[in-house]
Structure 1
Amino acid sequence: MSNQAAWIKSEGANLTLDSAETPAPTANQLLIKTGAIGLNPVEAKLQKFKIFPIPYPNILGLSFSGTVEKVGSSVTDFKAGDRVAVHRSSGHSTGPVGPFEHSSTGSYQKYVIADSQTTAKLEDNVTFEAAAAAITNLATAVSALAISLKLDRPNPKGPNPANEGKKVLIYGGSSSVGGFAVHFAVRAGYTIITTSSPRNLATVTSLHPAKIIDHTQPASSIVEELKAAGPYHAVFDTIGLPTTTTILGQVLAEQGGELYATQPPFGPLDLPSNVQRHFGSFPAAFEQPENEEYRNWFYGIFGKYLGMGLVDE
């Protein structure tokens, strides 16, 4: 079987369609024929802004869906013909470069190698497009909240009453990661404060946060409203820009604490001394041995929840 890929051949270069080797899966891997490819903001930022160094030439792409073609010798949970969605494995690295070390796992190609541990089976009613669009952003939101911020997971029996009144600030509720984070935390019973533009207000309102603040207004007004809505049990910045870092630093200045962000810092941080900012490749945390239970839970329920409509596209 011949393979084609969209290569980024040097730093900052445009994508180039070219041939690629068709890789063979090792013991715990799958070879998958892509059905749909997710386009994630980090990929454009890598190409245009070079937000962290990766090896070149490279095949970008963190998320995709498709059909299993071959399975490795140790794989027992998947078989040829299975419909699946994949978040690109970090290679068990905790840093942001990990997923991009091997071009064979990049989703911008016809045949892709996947780690069986970061692959989810899909229900028949779930489209490839919906699954590819959701898996990486949902993995980011769930890992950040459940593993990094140590929030409870949603319980099928209903929200945990013990979490009522615990305020969680999710900056950027109208973003894909932010929307998933709001949805997740509301279902776990937390009191969610988030932000949105007026244009996306109806969408964010449908997720049922306790309060939505307009993040298109002047920064001083955003800070004032967010401070008035606090104090906060946890803070997650799904935008991760210098402007949002500064805003959240001012919001947390009085109470102190930590905030977790989806992007690395761009230069020196403008933060009070009692506020710490953390960034990491959140989905990679699922691959750490100590988080095996979280990993099995997330990749086990992803396709089922998408099929039941409990995860919005």
Structure 2
Amino acid sequence: MVNQSLGDKLFGWVVYALLALICVIVLYPLIFVLVASFSSPGAVMRGEVWLWPKDMTWIGYKKIFQNAEILTGYANTLLYTVIGTAINLLLSIAAAYPLSRKDLYGRNVISGMMVLTMFFSGGMVPTYLLIKDLGMLNSMWALILPGAISVYNVLIMRTFFQNFIPQEMQEAAAMDGCSNIGTLVRIVLPLSMPIIAVMILFYSVGHWNAYFSALMYLTDREKYPLQLILREILIQGQMQEMQGVGDNVLAETVMQSEAIKYAVVIVANLPVLLLYPFLQKYFAKGVMIGAVKG
């Protein structure tokens, strides 16, 4: 152990204190939402709930699972997220790996052309007309294919392939008669789990939280994702509060809306929160891509 001066010890204590404060600031809202979802809506609205449920109730979760549209939206979101993430990952790898190879002629020009698309957009109306002409309106492909590949993520994967996959291993595989596809599948991808985990996390969270594309392209309520259903629930609750259809009815409606609001946050974010522990060991390494070279 290296002897630390008093100044170093004080600095360490300050760092730990700041980290503890940041943890409290980040974790408390999550804990509060979880506790509020099991608490009486009246106690929550009166500010009596802090770190432990009060007048514990399951009314919010009961209302959620009694709503067929929420369950349908949940299933749709799972479907869109799984299929969309798989397509995103496949296309990103297919674009990033060739661009990382030094023997690809014109790879810098291709990368520059891809980067150029990050600064310009066709706009909402032309994009809608394109989706309409392609016959993808009111289908899940309208939510998946327009954003099937992210140039930013492709560049991150290309950087990983260039800096963290030894070129000598790829050359050795080629000398052993391995094709480019074989090298990618047998050598590159098994060594690229950190960046693959990061891409899965980025793409899946993006699909899970997306609602604007569904709002524009979907007309069939049976195809609505969960986020669009939740948006309608919140809007309906606000409209009912503004209408004021009788004090008793209004009070009951407000209470139910309050209970549903917190319960829905937990249910809607649970799959994403469960995804983090499985990717954590890869995520820490993946997010540091490009930060250190040597």
Same-fold call, TM cutoff 0.5: no
Is the helix fraction higher in 1 or 2? 2
TM (norm. structure 2) is: 0.27
TM-score where L is the length of structure 1: 0.26
Using CA pairs below 8 Å that are at least 6 residues apart, which structure has the higher relative contact order?
Answer: 2
Greater C-alpha radius of gyration: 2
